[in-house]
Amino acid sequence: MSKLLVFGHQNPDTDAITSAISYAYLLKQLGEEAEAVALGEPNEETQYALNYFNRTAPRVVSSVSEETDRVALVDHNEVQQSASDVEKVEVQYVVDHHRIANFQTANPLFYRCEPVGCTNTILFKMYKEYGIEIPKEIAGLMVSAIVSDTLLFKSPTCTQQDIEAATELARIAEIDVNSYGLEMLKAGTNLSTKSEAELIDLDAKSFPMGSYNMRIAQVNVVDEQELLARREALEFSMKEANATHGYDTFLLVVTNILTSVSTGLVVGEALETVAKAFNTEYENGLLILPGVVSRKKQVVPPLTVAFEN
């Protein structure tokens, strides 16, 4: 039997990379020959967590079928967000906290999906259910993911389960979750060295919505004006991405982690539909979205409704 590769989505965020690490470790303890890999390099926030807990990033792959015939997916299930050849291998495990879409298998599999703020919250529960002790450095990566996905418990995706998991994981990792979490989030807002093409691809996912192919990227900042000063170049890169990859509309969500206000920059065919989804109008060509911080819960669902209706 070939080795099981465990990986998160393309353009991986902290949860995608660390849930691959934490799930691969759990599967190993349960007798699987599992390896965590990644579908991209870690961003600054994720690298901060990896460095803090003295862990090496998983090796990067783009395809998997040439080295295995079985995989485990974490923090995603949609085919367009996965490895380029995921349909050529057998998906044996999925642990996720997103909607289920564009996903089917030929054989039964282990599938666990729960409406919590972070995949690592589910994995924390699985460690406890299996009676497997969580090593200090793994616990640190897991709590880092929960902090990232819930924006230090301020996101509407955050549940009491996330808070309880983070509290216990922080104790194992021997950190103060609030002070550590704020420093980690700030590390992810250092965008000055990134090109516009890199910025719009840092944390971007594609979503089929009605007859449209929607691309939604999100960038966290502490000062949105610093990024919006590059607006013209950002819009140019977004239009290029649309033309190159066949996206109908590209939405860049710039989220201020201190004020919990997002600014939407939109290019493409369906500008008015995007505005309608959020029940607002453009101000100088921008969508101002107070309280919107979660792509999963506050961006994708209203857009899906707007495009399908």
* Two tokens, residue 66: 């040439």
Q: Is 149 marked within a binding site? A: yes
| Residue from 305, 299, 234, 218 nearest 267 by CA | 234
End-to-end CA distance of the chain: 47
Burial 41-71, CB ≥16 within 10 A → b, else e? ebbbbbbbbbebbebebbeebeebeeebebb
96 a known binding residue?
Answer: no
**Whole-angstrom distance, CA of residue 230 vs CA of residue 117:** 31
Cα–Cα distance, 198 to 240 (Å, whole number): 13
The two tokens of residue 241 are 């991405």
Answer for the pair 166, 143: CB distance below 8 angstroms, yes or no: yes
Planar angle of CA 137, 139, 258, nearest 5 degrees: 105
Edge-to-edge strands, sheet with 261-268? 204-209, 212-221, 249-256, 261-268, 287-290
Whether residue 203 is annotated as binding a ligand: the answer is no
Is residue 75 left, alpha or beta, with left meaning phi > 0 and alpha meaning psi from -120 to 50? left
Whether 15 has a binding-site annotation, put simply, is: yes
**Residue list, annotated binding site:** 9, 13, 15, 75, 97, 149
**Residue list, annotated binding site for Mn(2+):** 9, 13, 15, 75, 97, 149
